[in-house]
Structure 1
């Protein structure tokens, strides 16, 4: 297999090399309407996902193909995008000076300035990076996992944790509308498409903490997505071994009505065949989204956003074979399955927004949205297993084979879980901007309906004994004298819950910009309020951010923020392990303290940026939880306190000329102290100490322990990520994209609900994905009238190798017991190496 992969990569590279072309250069200067030089303008060839930046004096020099018409794109956050066509002779240099106009979003006479994040604690991400990202998910969340402070150890899932938080602690907005995650999904295999359609995105902003009061009530992060407003007819699409997508943009003649539609299909069948468990996988995930923007007149605008998603997952397992243990104690688990799992996850979402522009700098926004989530999880799976000891004797003819059997057993997993959630809300927001200060405020009402029916259990049988082992009536000769004993099931839950509730929230935020002799400064102060009628909890959340930009020759920005961040419970936090609801649960609280800096510099005459943030989060009223794969199960009690602290660093820039790459590293520690938790150790007559009691042993002593601070389930001490791009110097449309992720050992523990035992560590997560892409058609390349490809602006072909190093990453464990109650932790591995090919096009 390794030889095949090497041959494939060499073949792709040789294919790229055949496309080498001659080159030329375009040089010039870029200035604004007043003749002032503009720095950091991005100059790129249209259709090519790379470029260069202008220098401090506005000068630039870009390498282009010679002998053909080339479309250059000049873009800057504060200026209108500009395209110019030019033709350069072989090895020639051509002068082209550019004047950019300050960027405005114009509604006839109304002008709204583009968003500037310099005074905000937000990171801006270029959506273009997503197009050729080598990752099986190909979602916005995939690129987030390469950012500092963000971690994930599952390439099958779009879930991520930020600075010690869990998956439920992240805010996601699309066009100002909050998005909700499914609640029943317990594995990445079941997870369908991310809500966000990356082909429809115009801007991505992300904050890993210390965000402003205008963002909602969660304790970890915020992802703010904007879908683009169509300006001309066009579209795009892609097809690969993992699915397909198509997007269409429509605009009327007056250009005041635009529509953007996107369809996606995804199937992990090919990917899941690389899992440990052999069987028939039939995942089918479909998604349709629409965004319509209608400018009625100079002051009135209406937006519509809708989403229909249908995700089904059918799995008929057959066999599984897993080797585990150590070199000196190697074992093998073999399981033979019967039964199947059938899941359905559907989403309906619709939203309408009305924008009224009182003045060019004063916008009133009214939003109404509705979500309906239906989730169904049904499975009956029987597994018959055997545990074998492997022969590790050097020189043995049976080395690596089965030496002897250590036990047999069986288990049955059953579930019939159904959940329907309806969320309706109305909201008003306002934004007022001036040169000196900004005002933002908003109020929101939300009504929630949840209907949850859960019935699940596990039955285990080891060597013909049902576990947990209970007393029996063996030896009785008189049947009437025999006692009745109950069959005990593990993880038994049988409940029906309904919850109707009202939630009110609002915020007010003031931003003041002022200058001194030493710096330009921005101070943002805000406060949020939240009330939920279930627990009658009124929350007040003050937040403050301060940005200082010294008037130094070097571009340095210092940022600091602090605030109170509450996370009111939604539904899952209320549900206890037995299925009952604890409606007295309170909001979790996190105090954020953060200080950081951005430093822009040049190396090798190319721009770079180094960012650093140090943070401390004090956590109170924590609801402890356990994570199994991507399933979070809460204890439904505010009985813990804790902290999260660490440092995040990132450097990004042109490691390779004319293309952006970045590397990030995070060091983090998060711990919690669960109030009132304890455990005993037991000593037998021989002086041996045990953490659990076994029925057939006699104990002479016991000792009480209070665990105090233990690692939280997301305590991943070190994470490192690299996103690297390169291209052939003489053929810049032939590219390589590399994505490397490392996450240190996460905590885990034996099956059961005792959090204090979750102090073991699973192996680190290590993964490398690589992609090779070639632009087959560019906008500047003219084709004959009869050529059907002349209608396409660009066509790309990409070949990707996932898990290049063939590392078996562990996502969770299956726990197997024998009659002596000895537990074996058998790792559940994620996907192995695989090849994917992809075709992308724009028209």
Structure 2
């Protein structure tokens, strides 16, 4: 039935596409500057359909399929040139040709970014916020787009967290307007996680690097996500409502353009999605946050901005029962659990940052940032479960096929926790940039103070067929217990300096970026120095190709969780985890079907020392602070993106990875790291009804190979069991009711500029993906891993409007 259902949808899409082919026209053109030089990478977009667009190739040429019999406005834009627009009307199957000359403009500095004509040869990938924000995803947000990129992996649709090239969740840097963003400490599962910090309604630019990034970015070992919120130019707003929550944002300009503000509020609940889990009960997750970004322009050279965020994520759960069938055809098993008790979690975070930006001339920019972050997290639960473990009848000719054939175990467990954490981080930073004819200098320094206090009191009692596990004939022992109280107060100072410059060569363009970072932490008195360099070469070949090579040190100083030993105590002597990375990449831009495509390849090798081993349970990382390891990660990432459908960007990513570590003195040599996933594939595809772009379709597909896991609280070398591969397809259909091309005649909707309705199908194949395991014991003392499945097939209806 799953295959028939999927085939029917694909057949319907094909028929709709063929039906509308005759309603298209073709727009061709060439763009040049005032000197007659062709302009490549110029964005060409339809004003009435902002999601339909393309870019020019190296010859300045472009081709775009457009709706016929409609008056349209074409917008041409590129950094360094004035935005140009032109009108067009075409009959069905007509080809219209345009020759456009784009005048150059003088660009001023914008905050810390010095804009220049120098090519970007780094490993940074830029994403279109409009595309990412419209993706159909259970978690939603910018992270949904990141998970489709090469090198990025996630096997949990309820979480915004991701791993990159063998790293873990804590190894990813996230910046919003140059302010570092932190993830929650106590969250154990994607069910509890709620909203990510980034409000996609407010985003202006998205830059991401999966490794080999420059010195101006921070001191973590895996990736960097650099987000900028936009400065409004006029009054606008948006709102959306769905079965999983609601969002709203508004932006405006006041005081003759000197004051700008953009603010957003979001509410999300996972109750609807969690209803498809095996664990039944009363789910009441409520996630709410408010963000604002305000800027006041004192003069052309000086402005001050404020970024603020208040978030409250509450997770309440009263479990009732759970029934899970698992095992193999040779040994089919079933477990049923009856629950008592409840879980109540509360995660509150606050962030405020004030930035002063000063650029005395067109080549110099100085920025000062003062920020404060506070988190108050509470995790409390008392849950009792009584379970039955049965072997099922597998003889298909038997009348009892599928029923219980043998009882393997009866038991009880009681889970208890009273965990509290308070964290406060203050920082003051300066960043600068200077642009000359051949050099672009960047520098920065930051002083940071941290106050973190946590109280841990959790234990697990297990009883199987009348005796406590572990068994003792003299006392009742707990299966697991952890009781600790910690307080850490420390200071850090970090800084960097880097230069980007052009090197004259006989053929093509060669750019070098070199820099160094330093980091000192007074808790362990460790000074870290991290040199990094990138070479980028653009040969003058007929085939448009580029090459880059990055090498450098990436030292990740412990923050808090990395300091904790298995018994909950703090190891103040813990040193930074260190990584040497080598990344080699190529980009090939080619034309197919008269449309531009890009094929990107990156090969990498990481050698890592002073690693702190860890174990993963859902989205919680438990570090083994008393141990040390060395390891490596090596792999190959590939991505092809372009206009598989004219005017719409789609892409596919394929990654191969191997990562292992050797824990010192454990006698087991190299073993797979928890993120050792040999292959990962992701796909994002867009389509529309030709001749009528108001009907849209999006498809996201994921495949992640088997990840290693093992028994809870076990030794790392025991994590040799591989959970099943992660497979998922999400599908979204939308209908645009109001747009610039189809304005509403109703006075009730006269202020609405865009409105569309989306039908989203999550996990359309209804695959039971495993995120973790619950371990139960039989009467023979054997332990069985009962899979904790993720969400099943669900449908979501979403209404979005802009004004």
**1:778 aligned residue (731, 734, 739):** 739
Residue in 1 that maps onto 2:519: 530
Residue in 2 that maps onto 1:469: 471
How far is 1:435 from its partner? 3.1
Q: Aligned partners of 2:611, 2:106: CA distance in 1, in Å?
A: 45
Q: 1:792 aligned to 2:762?
A: no
- SS of 1:113's equivalent? coil
Residue in 1 that maps onto 2:45: 44
Q: Aligned partners of 2:559, 2:399: CA distance in 1, in Å?
A: 59
Residue in 2 that maps onto 1:746: 707
Are the aligned partners of 1:104 and 1:111 in contact in 2 as well (CA < 8 Å)?
A: no
Following superposition of structure 1 onto structure 2, how do residues 157-176 of structure 1 map, counting pairs within 5 Å?
Answer: 157-176=159-178
Q: Deviations over 1:564-603 (max 9, x none)?
A: 1100000001112211111110000000011111111111
Q: Deviations over 1:436-474 (max 9, x none)?
A: 1111111100000111011100000111111110123xx
Are the aligned partners of 2:608 and 2:632 in contact in 1 as well (CA < 8 Å)?
A: yes
Residue in 2 that maps onto 1:481: none
Following superposition of structure 1 onto structure 2, how do residues 685-704 of structure 1 map, counting pairs within 5 Å?
Answer: none
Are the aligned partners of 1:69 and 1:781 in contact in 2 as well (CA < 8 Å)?
A: no
Following superposition of structure 1 onto structure 2, how do residues 348-747 of structure 1 map, counting pairs within 5 Å?
Answer: 348-472=350-474, 485=475, 487-677=476-666, 706-747=667-708
Are the aligned partners of 2:112 and 2:365 in contact in 1 as well (CA < 8 Å)?
A: no
How far is 1:173 from its partner? 0.6
Q: Deviations over 1:39-90 (max 9, x none)?
A: 2322222244132333444344434334443232323344344444444455
How far is 1:30 from its partner? 2.4
Q: Aligned partners of 2:170, 2:51: CA distance in 1, in Å?
A: 33
Find the structure with the greater CA-based Rg.
Answer: 1
Following superposition of structure 1 onto structure 2, how do residues 256-267 of structure 1 map, counting pairs within 5 Å?
Answer: 256-267=258-269
Are the aligned partners of 1:71 and 1:780 in contact in 2 as well (CA < 8 Å)?
A: no
Are the aligned partners of 2:56 and 2:596 in contact in 1 as well (CA < 8 Å)?
A: no
How far is 1:17 from its partner? 9.8
How far is 1:774 from its partner? 1.8
Are the aligned partners of 1:769 and 1:801 in contact in 2 as well (CA < 8 Å)?
A: yes
Structure 1 spans left out of the alignment, 5+ residues:
473-484, 678-705
Higher mean displacement: 47-56 or 767-776 = 47-56
Q: Aligned partners of 1:650, 1:110: CA distance in 2, in Å?
A: 30
Are the aligned partners of 1:163 and 1:220 in contact in 2 as well (CA < 8 Å)?
A: yes
Are the aligned partners of 2:63 and 2:594 in contact in 1 as well (CA < 8 Å)?
A: no
Q: Deviations over 1:718-761 (max 9, x none)?
A: 10111111122222232211111111010011222311100111
Are the aligned partners of 1:621 and 1:638 in contact in 2 as well (CA < 8 Å)?
A: no
Residue in 2 that maps onto 1:693: none
Q: Aligned partners of 2:118, 2:232: CA distance in 1, in Å?
A: 22
Q: Aligned partners of 2:584, 2:13: CA distance in 1, in Å?
A: 45
Q: Aligned partners of 1:738, 1:126: CA distance in 2, in Å?
A: 17
- SS of 1:791's equivalent? coil
Change (3 A) 1:459 1:116: farther
Following superposition of structure 1 onto structure 2, how do residues 325-336 of structure 1 map, counting pairs within 5 Å?
Answer: 325-336=327-338
How far is 1:114 from its partner? 6.0
How far is 1:127 from its partner? 1.1
Residue in 1 that maps onto 2:801: 841
Q: Aligned partners of 2:79, 2:130: CA distance in 1, in Å?
A: 15
Q: 1:826 aligned to 2:786?
A: yes
Are the aligned partners of 2:41 and 2:56 in contact in 1 as well (CA < 8 Å)?
A: yes
**1:113 aligned residue (115, 121, 134):** 115
Residue in 2 that maps onto 1:759: 720
Change (3 A) 1:234 1:198: same
Are the aligned partners of 2:499 and 2:513 in contact in 1 as well (CA < 8 Å)?
A: yes
Change (3 A) 1:27 1:545: closer
Q: Aligned partners of 1:289, 1:307: CA distance in 2, in Å?
A: 4
Are the aligned partners of 1:465 and 1:819 in contact in 2 as well (CA < 8 Å)?
A: no
Residue in 2 that maps onto 1:292: 294
Q: Aligned partners of 1:20, 1:235: CA distance in 2, in Å?
A: 35
Are the aligned partners of 1:586 and 1:638 in contact in 2 as well (CA < 8 Å)?
A: no
Higher mean displacement: 748-757 or 347-356 = 748-757
**2:271 aligned residue (269, 272, 280):** 269
How far is 1:13 from its partner? 9.4
How far is 1:131 from its partner? 3.0
How far is 1:36 from its partner? 2.9
Q: 1:805 aligned to 2:794?
A: no
Are the aligned partners of 1:151 and 1:719 in contact in 2 as well (CA < 8 Å)?
A: yes
Higher mean displacement: 311-320 or 20-29 = 20-29
Q: Aligned partners of 1:228, 1:542: CA distance in 2, in Å?
A: 32
Are the aligned partners of 1:779 and 1:792 in contact in 2 as well (CA < 8 Å)?
A: no
Change (3 A) 1:663 1:175: same
Residue in 2 that maps onto 1:814: 774
Are the aligned partners of 1:585 and 1:638 in contact in 2 as well (CA < 8 Å)?
A: no
Q: Aligned partners of 1:115, 1:258: CA distance in 2, in Å?
A: 28
Residue in 2 that maps onto 1:69: 71
Are the aligned partners of 2:109 and 2:365 in contact in 1 as well (CA < 8 Å)?
A: no
How far is 1:116 from its partner? 6.1
Aligned residue pairs: how many?
801
Are the aligned partners of 1:643 and 1:670 in contact in 2 as well (CA < 8 Å)?
A: yes
- SS of 2:190's equivalent? coil
Are the aligned partners of 1:234 and 1:250 in contact in 2 as well (CA < 8 Å)?
A: yes
Residue in 2 that maps onto 1:478: none
Q: Aligned partners of 1:26, 1:214: CA distance in 2, in Å?
A: 42
Are the aligned partners of 2:63 and 2:595 in contact in 1 as well (CA < 8 Å)?
A: no
Q: Aligned partners of 2:227, 2:112: CA distance in 1, in Å?
A: 23
Q: Aligned partners of 1:839, 1:10: CA distance in 2, in Å?
A: 26
How far is 1:91 from its partner? 5.4
Change (3 A) 1:202 1:238: same
Q: TM-score, normalised by structure 1?
A: 0.91
Change (3 A) 1:773 1:317: same
Structure 2 spans left out of the alignment, 5+ residues:
none
Q: Aligned partners of 1:542, 1:638: CA distance in 2, in Å?
A: 27
How far is 1:768 from its partner? 0.7
Residue in 2 that maps onto 1:687: none
Change (3 A) 1:621 1:61: closer
Q: Aligned partners of 1:398, 1:620: CA distance in 2, in Å?
A: 56
Q: Aligned partners of 1:237, 1:98: CA distance in 2, in Å?
A: 37
Residue in 2 that maps onto 1:316: 318
Following superposition of structure 1 onto structure 2, how do residues 206-285 of structure 1 map, counting pairs within 5 Å?
Answer: 206-252=208-254, 254-285=256-287
Are the aligned partners of 1:104 and 1:113 in contact in 2 as well (CA < 8 Å)?
A: no
Residue in 2 that maps onto 1:680: none
Q: TM-score, normalised by structure 2?
A: 0.96
